[in-house]
Amino acid sequence: MFKILISNDDGAKGPGLRPLIKELSKIAKVYVIVPKSQMSGIGHGITLVKYKKFEKIEKDFYAIKNGTPADCVKYGLNSFLKDKIDLVVSGINTGPNLGRDVIYSGTVAAAREGALRGIPSLAVSAAEMDATEYEHSAIITKKIAETVLLKRKKLFKNTCLNINIPKNYKGIKVVPLGRRVFDEYFKIIADKKLGFVYKLSEKNISCAGKKNKGTDVDVVDKGYISVTPLKLDQTDFDLVEKIKL
C-alpha cells in the first residue's frame, strides 16, 4: 500500500486539509504533519537549535507549534516516517501560488522539502483567493497523485509539481511559471508600547500580457488547472560559463 505524507502552510484548521485527507485516504495510507497555526508566506524557513512542541491531533495526525511547513516535512521524513513515504502532498492552499509566489509560499516549500529527499511531491492550491469549497480540488489531486505514484520511479523522482486548481476547471495543462506583478507597500502605524510597527501589504495589479501567454498565470485565468514541474537546482548554467572574475 502506498504511503502519503500531507502537510500545508494553513495549519491544522486549514479549510483545504480535511477534504484532501479524505480523498487521498482512498488510495494510500495517509500521515499528516502540519503547523499548528497559519504559516503562509514563510517560504522555506526552517527551525534551527530550538526545540519544537508537537501534539497528536488524532491517529496519524500531528501538529507542530510554531513549526514551519518545511519543519513538518523534515520531521516526518527524518523520524518516525523515515524510508516509508512514497509521496508528499502539501495543501490544499487557500488561494493560488502562481509565478513568483513559489518563492514565498510555505505550501510549495513543504513539497519542495519532500523533493529534496528524493520523494515526488505535489504543492496544491485552490486558484480562488476566497475559496469556500475544496472537494473538487481534492478529487483531482487524488487523480494526479495516482498517476505520480504509478510513475514515480521512472518520471517523478526528485520532482516537485506546483498545481493550481480553478473552480469548474476545463482540463489540465502542464506549463511554465508566469509573471505576476504586485503593487507592494508598507502600512506603518505608531504603537505606544512597540513604537513604530509595519505590515507589508500587496495588491495584484497585473497578470496579463504577451509574456504570460502559455504560463500558469495564463491558463488558470482561462479556467485550466496548471501543473508546473519545479527545478531544485537554481544554478544559472549560462552565466556559469560567461562570468569571469
Measured between alpha carbons, how far is 5 from 28 in angstroms, rounded to an integer? 10
The rounded Cα 122 to chain-centroid distance in angstroms is 7
Same domain? 126 vs 194: no
The answer to which of 74-78, 85-89, 203-207, 230-234 has the lowest mean pLDDT is 203-207
pLDDT at 204: 62
Residue 52 falls within a domain, yes or no? Answer: yes
The 10 Å CB-count burial string (b at 16+, else e) for 31-51 is bbbbbbebbbebbbeeeeeee
Same domain? 81 vs 46: yes
Confidence at 205, pLDDT banded by 50, 70, 90:
low
Residue 186: count other Cβ atoms within 10 Å of its Cβ: 9
* pLDDT for 208 beyond 60: no
CATH number at residue 39: 3.40.1210.10
Same domain? 150 vs 190: no
* 27 prior amide bond cis, ω within 30: no
Can you tell me which residue has the cell 495584484?
Answer: 204
Same domain? 88 vs 193: no
| pLDDT, tens digit, 9 for 90 and up, residues 46-63 | 999 888 888 999 999 999
Same domain? 110 vs 70: yes
Same domain? 130 vs 113: yes
Contact 136, 152 (CB under 8 A): no
Measured between alpha carbons, how far is 227 from 242 in angstroms, rounded to an integer? 32
Same domain? 139 vs 197: no
**Number of domains making up the chain:** 2
* pLDDT for 197 beyond 80: no
Same domain? 132 vs 205: no
Residue 58 falls within a domain, yes or no? Answer: yes
128: cell is 480562488
Residue 80 falls within a domain, yes or no? Answer: yes
Nearest one of 24, 11, 33, 10 to 79, comparing CA atoms: 33
Measured between alpha carbons, how far is 23 from 18 in angstroms, rounded to an integer? 9
Mean pLDDT over the full length of the chain: 90
pLDDT at 202: 64
Same domain? 100 vs 198: no
**Could you tell me whether strands 225-230 and 160-165 are parallel, antiparallel, or unpaired per DSSP bridges?**
antiparallel
| pLDDT, tens digit, 9 for 90 and up, residues 85-140 | 999 999 999 999 999 999 999 999 999 999 999 999 999 999 988 888 999 999 99
Measured between alpha carbons, how far is 153 from 66 in angstroms, rounded to an integer? 34
Same domain? 135 vs 148: yes
Backbone CA torsion sign across 219, 44, 54, 77: positive
Residue 245 falls within a domain, yes or no? Answer: no
Range of the domain at 186: 181-209
Confidence at 4, pLDDT banded by 50, 70, 90:
very high
Measured between alpha carbons, how far is 155 from 151 in angstroms, rounded to an integer? 6
Confidence at 203, pLDDT banded by 50, 70, 90:
low
Residue 88 falls within a domain, yes or no? Answer: yes
Same domain? 119 vs 191: no
Same domain? 94 vs 201: no
